[in-house]
Structure 1
Amino acid sequence: MPAPVPTPAPVPAPVGPFEWKVDTIDAAGHAVFEDFWYPWAKEIEEKTGGMVKPTIYPVGALGYGGSQQLVLLQAGIHDVAQVITGWNTGHFPDLAFMDLPALFRSGEEVHDGWKATQYVWERELFSRFGVHPIMYTSNDEQIPLSSKKLTCLDDLKGQKVRVFSS
């Protein structure tokens, strides 16, 4: 007697679409929404055939932003977060040098610095927070400000200096 023909397993129904809650550091109405965030979200949706639909939220809309972005991401409050390492001081000790003022002379040098340390920050983000970077950006111009006149490096002695993002 021939063996019975096995019944094929049912084909699972497609899953999705998925909403990505994207938490930014940008205030509502900022030009970066029209210039970057909305086109980026549209591109993600198009490239996934509508299976991933990013919804872009301004800073604070999904909870306290800035220095809490990683905590909120871990808690599942949002799915994607724009994180600035300098706003999360202490979370990235191996990358603190990237936020030193005047370390780089151009955006290209900042980019090269991030690329050179990519393995470090990818490892730190995953091992410490369980998250993976999907893109990174850098800014080339920063304007350090002071409440007193500074004419040389010695004038910085005893001053607190804080800058964010190289």
Structure 2
Amino acid sequence: MNKHTLSSFLAATAMLFGSAAAQAEETITLKVGHFWPATAMSQKKVLEPWCDKIAAESGNRLKCQIFPGTQLGGTPGQLYQQVADGVADIVWTLPGYTGGRFPSMEVFDLPFLIRDAEGASRAAWEYAQRFGAKEFAAVKPLAFHVHDAGQIHNNTRPIEKPADFRGLKMRAPTRLTNRMLAELGATPVAMPAPQTPEAVSKGVVDGYVLPWEVIPTLKLHELTKYHSEMDPALPALYTTSFIVAMNKARYASLPDDLKKVIDANSGADFSASIGKAWDDSASAARQQAVEHGNRFNTIPADTAAEWLALGERLADDWAKEMSAKGLPGEEMLGTARSLVKKYSK
């Protein structure tokens, strides 16, 4: 090899390795979509710290661009498809916003299943590994979790017993919470949380079920008179299951060391940490409704037999419905209950 050829070879090799090194050090921006306002706990206490963590652990080679309030277009119910299709790299949404598409995770929408969101979220992740892999095969799940105890809020009267729901139009997020409200005697109205303030202010609904954190985020405490809470000695009236998911192709395109960063910040611990953020948020959020002068009442545990019987009936019906679809309904219900009990405080 003459000097000219050797020089050319060395130059080409240097360019090749330099290009590879530059590619390895390239900053990768992940588009992260969700449906809450930018000021919501979900962004401030979960997504932003998570994004900061993956940035730090990747040497700032991974960063997020967050798009709150469905700024990438579409509706909350379309977020899952957006991440599957690559419109977003990561989304946070409710499987239940597309009713019937993800039947396995509906079990966590059943009434009186959970006691705290942290433990139930760890349970949800473990349960999903066993029963949800096929349903969520189009994406890479990063977390499955639930929110803290959902409560009852309305502008007509305090809710003390199931009969008090009669004649009320009530917003709920998912198929099973709508079924629960119908069984209680209300007229259920399905809608994503961000649509609730307008629906309340225009009288489209008389009330809604939501956890406390969401109330001040959407300024619903300024639009609501009555808040009815289940006795803390009881399991939560209801909760809702969520997923944080990543586009599979986007994940596959990452260098191996960056895949490890994503993997280290997803799974059971991440799921539980999201649940804990919801648990921790409830008290301060509730206080804003107190300071607004709204009225509160507690449904005592010793009068809750009718409520709990309804929960058992809905759970049994759900298990039978899943079995009719060819799924192991009884096993799914039993596993969810067992895992929640295992991880609850």
**TM-score greater than 0.5 by the shorter chain:** yes
Distance 1:108 1:51, change over 3 A: closer
Partner of 2:65: 55
TM-score (norm 1): 0.75
CA distance in 2, matches of 1:57, 1:42: 16
Amino acid at match of 1:39: P
Identity %: 21
Task: Choose which of 68, 78, 91 in structure 2 pairs with 1:68.
Answer: 78
The CA distance in 2 between the partners of 1:108 and 1:34, in whole Å, is: 18
Say whether 1:26 aligns with 2:36: yes
Q: Distance in 2 between matches of 1:89 and 1:160?
A: 18
Specify the alignment match of 2:142 in structure 1. Answer: 134
Correspondent of 1:92 among 102, 109, 116: 102
Match of 2:161 among 151, 155, 159: 151
- Give the aligned residue type for 1:132: K
Q: Distance in 2 between matches of 1:101 and 1:54?
A: 35
* Cα RMSD after superposing both structures: 3.1
Which of these residues, 104, 109, 114, is aligned with residue 104 of structure 1?
114
The farther-off stretch of 75-84 and 113-122 is 113-122
Q: Which has the larger strand fraction?
A: 2
Partner of 1:125: 136
Shift in Å, 1:13: 3.9
- TM-aligned CA deviation for residue 63 of structure 1: 1.0
Q: Which amino acid aligns with 1:165?
A: T
Q: CA deviation at 1:71?
A: 1.4
Q: Residue 90 of structure 2 aligns with which residue?
A: 80
Deviating 4+ runs (over 6 angstroms)? none
Equivalences, count: 157
Structure with greater Cα Rg? 2
Match of 1:165 among 232, 237, 240: 240
SS in 2 for 1:54: strand
More RCO (CA 8 Å, sep 6+): 2
* One-letter amino acid of the counterpart of residue 88, structure 1: T
Please state how far the C-alpha of 1:19 moved relative to its aligned partner: 0.8
* Match 1:42 to one of 47, 52, 55: 52
Cα offset, 1:102, TM superposition: 2.2
Structure 2: distance between partners of 1:135 and 1:70: 13
Q: Which runs of 5+ in 1 are unaligned?
A: 1-6
Structure 1 residue 150: Cα displacement: 6.9
- Return the structure number with greater helix share: 2
1:64 is aligned with what amino acid? G
Q: Secondary structure at the match of 2:88?
A: coil
Determine the C-alpha separation between the residues in 1 that align with 2:118 and 2:46.
20
Structure 2 runs not aligned, ≥5 long: 1-8, 167-182, 191-237, 242-345
